[in-house]
Amino acid sequence: MGKMCKHENYKNCANPAIDGLHSEWVFNLMIGSQRLSDRLIKEYDMIEQFKVKGVKAIFNLEEPGEHPYCGDGIIDKIGFSYSPENLMRH
């Protein structure tokens, strides 16, 4: 499905937990979402959103190289769709 994947468009989510991410609260304890991308993190100021929502940890379930054509794709040197170091700084 690539960029057309229904889970890559947060507007397909009735009430996203994080603006800009296809995301939902799970038991009001955690957020399940599409994978992040460096573009989405920057464009939707997700670092600040995470802070406001009390997000303390992010668990990346993406395997290196997985779904290279979905969303914004993957970063070749890293193998993921975002740079984990960008989040770890915060």
For residue 12, the model assigns a pLDDT of 87
Contact 31, 18 (CB under 8 A): yes
Cα–Cα dist 65/3, whole Å: 16
Residue written as token pair 């304890």: 29
Neighbours of 47 (CB within 10 A): 15
Cα distance between the two ends of the chain = 32
Tens digit of each residue's pLDDT (9 = 90 or more) over 73-89? 899 999 999 999 989 99
Closest CA to 33 of 54, 60, 52: 60
What is the reported pLDDT for 1? 61
59 token code pair: 């668990």
How do the domains of the chain map onto residue ranges?
2-88
**pLDDT grade for 2, boundaries at 50, 70 and 90:** low
